[in-house]
Amino acid sequence: MAFIKLKNITYTYPLAKEPALRNMSCELERGKFYGVIGENAGGKTTFCNLLRGLIPHFYRGELEGEMTIDGQEIRNIDVDILSTQIGYIFQNPFTQISGVKKTVFEEIALGMENLGVPKEEIIQQVIEIAELVKIEDLLQKDPNQLSGGQRQKVAFASIIAMDTDVFVIDEPTSQLDPQGTESIFEIIDKLKKQAKTIILVEHKIDLVAEYADELIVIGQGEILAKGDVHQVLSDFSLQTRGVMFPQAALLSKALSEKGFDFPNIPVTKSECIQMLKERMR
């Protein structure tokens, strides 16, 4: 059964002339990993704000259509309760970090403290999460003196610490190098294996294609495509709508333009190697 349902959702920010989201309808299921892709300023972050209840509860503006989370109409939802169900990792780590805590340890513990988790449990959780995110060496540092990449990892850790069922994650790797990025994807993959629902906005399509179950393509405020990763990425016409394709798909496309056709479009490196191996004499 669908956990989040949107029906004909149109949303306009206060004072904006044009709607940021137009007539969006879709259903999201529990336990799935959704990759949200598409051009910048196309509505991806607004979509996240909606899933997290920030729209309409924080941003106001004009919301039309119907939306439910776990059967509850979004307009009637208690945002405080929602925040214990849906964890939201902001795009900009500078927004996420509270600025009031003196150490990374306290920063990660902040959310749990607010929920009244016992102290012993908090300490254990923080240590476990720090190991998972590989920031053990940062625990005693001042969050305000970290590099962009380090802040992004700390922001990520503080939300995972909340242990919600759903994670909405908006570009968690923009400040990270390839190793940092892969370690974030490995953590997201672990969350997925714990049956968490994940909604991830990310431009690094090669990794999204490898890990996600489904893609939601958003552009100009609309859902341009939604479905299985292979199905969505077999439609190269989406390139004209600013959608990035994985290098594996682009390589197969370039080869097919040279006359080497393939039965399917590979989206990951291993699929690509497999298909090419079959063609080598």
Partner 1 sequence: MEQIELKHVYFQYPNGYLANEDLNLTVKKGEQIAIVGQNGAGKTTAVKLMNGLHKPSKGEVIVDGKNTKKFTTAQIARYVGYVFQNPDDQIFNQSVYAEIAYMPKYYKMSASEIKNRVEESAALLKIESFLDKNPFEIPYVMRKFVTIAAILATKPQYIILDEPTAGQDLKGIEVLADLLKILKKQNIGTVTITHDMDFVANNFERTVVMANKRIIADGKTRDIFGEDDILRESKIKRTLAGEVAVELGMGKCILNIPDFLQEWSKLEVKDGK
Residues forming contacts to partner 1 in the complex (CB under 8 A) are 38-41, 91-92, 94, 147-150, 171, 174-181, 203, 206, 239, 242-244, 246-248, 250-251, 254-255, 258, 260-263, 269, 272-273, 276-281
Locus of tokens 């479905």: 227
Q: Which residues contact 126 (CB under 8 A, 6 or more apart)?
A: 105, 108, 109, 112, 139, 161
Yes or no: say if 164 and 87 are a contact pair by the CB < 8 Å rule.
yes
Nearer to partner 1, 59 or 165 (CB): 59
Q: What distance lies between CA 222 and its chain's CA centroid?
A: 17
Nearer to partner 1, 34 or 245 (CB): 245
Nearer to partner 1, 13 or 79 (CB): 13
Phi, psi of 123 (to 5 degrees): -60, -45
Locus of tokens 């902001």: 90
Shortest distance (Å) from residue 127 CB to partner 1: 23
Q: Per the structure block, which two tokens stand in for 24? A: 């969006």
Shortest distance (Å) from residue 199 CB to partner 1: 18
Nearer to partner 1, 163 or 171 (CB): 171
Instruction: Return the H-helix or E-strand segment holding 90.
Output: none
DSSP code for 19: -
Nearer to partner 1, 195 or 254 (CB): 254
Shortest distance (Å) from residue 247 CB to partner 1: 4
Phi, psi of 115 (to 5 degrees): -85, -5
Shortest distance (Å) from residue 179 CB to partner 1: 5
Q: Which residues, in sequence order, are bridge partners of residue 75?
A: none
Per-residue burial over 223-248, b if 16 or more Cβ lie within 10 Å, else e, is bbbbeebbebbebeebeebbbbbbbb
Nearer to partner 1, 3 or 156 (CB): 156
Shortest distance (Å) from residue 28 CB to partner 1: 23
Shortest distance (Å) from residue 239 CB to partner 1: 7
